[in-house]
Amino acid sequence: MNQLTENIARIVRLEDHELKALNSVITSREVDKKEFLLRPGQVCKATIFVVKGCLRSYYLKDGEYQILEFAVDNWWIGDLKSFLRQTPSELFVDALEPTQVLRIKYSKLELLYEEIPKLERFFRILMENALVAHQERIMHTHTLSARQRYEMFTAKYPNFYHSIPQKDIANYLGITPEYLSTIRNPNSH
């Protein structure tokens, strides 16, 4: 809970009674490697905060998966469209390693927004930051070289890029695993 409190405190400061109200609606869960937290067709009923570990979200197109994002320690993840509209998801969310998460259900969060307006501000800013990050990723995909995208990826995930499978990094970057190997080890080819 301390990590979540610190994550929120970067944007808003909650009073003790507000933290108590927040704590009362949070559930904690240990997720096994390869375990799914969300599958297409399910409604994303909770927003997920990663305490420790690594999750990814992705979708399938013509039987091939496309990774949208990774979530590591102190990051949030879920299917935003499904969560906000409470409609069936088109995404998978699974664990790349054993992961500890905290979850807040949509129905509880809506009540918290009324009780603690600062939380609504926190999540608004979180969503704004996510939108900016997704916009930048799209732009970088079209304007930067694969090497530049890889360098940005390693800067974004400095403690995790070594443990994320090479095929997943390549998928996220929109390149083949073989080309990623060339980028990672320019003297080996």
Express as a percent the part of the chain with pLDDT over 90.
83
CATH classification at residue 103:
2.60.120.10
Q: Is residue 58 part of a domain?
A: yes
Q: Is residue 37 part of a domain?
A: yes
Tell me which residue range forms the domain holding 97.
2-115
Q: Is residue 161 part of a domain?
A: no
134 CB-near residues (< 8 Å, 6+ apart): none
pLDDT in tens, 88-138: 999 999 999 999 999 999 999 999 999 999 999 999 999 999 999 989 999
Phi, psi of 115 (to 5 degrees): -75, -35
Q: Considering its fold, how many domains does the chain have in total?
A: 1
Distances 164 to 1, 68, 91, 94, 142 between C-alpha atoms, Å? 25, 14, 19, 13, 23
pLDDT in tens, 138-167: 999 999 999 999 999 888 888 777 778 899
Q: Is residue 13 part of a domain?
A: yes
Q: Is residue 151 part of a domain?
A: no
Residue labelled with tokens 């997704």 = 134
Q: Is residue 15 part of a domain?
A: yes
> Is the predicted pLDDT of residue 188 greater than 60, yes or no?
no
Sign of CA dihedral 113, 124, 137, 61: positive
Q: Is residue 59 part of a domain?
A: yes
pLDDT in tens, 166-182: 999 999 999 999 999 99
∠ at Cα 138 (136, 139), nearest 5°? 65
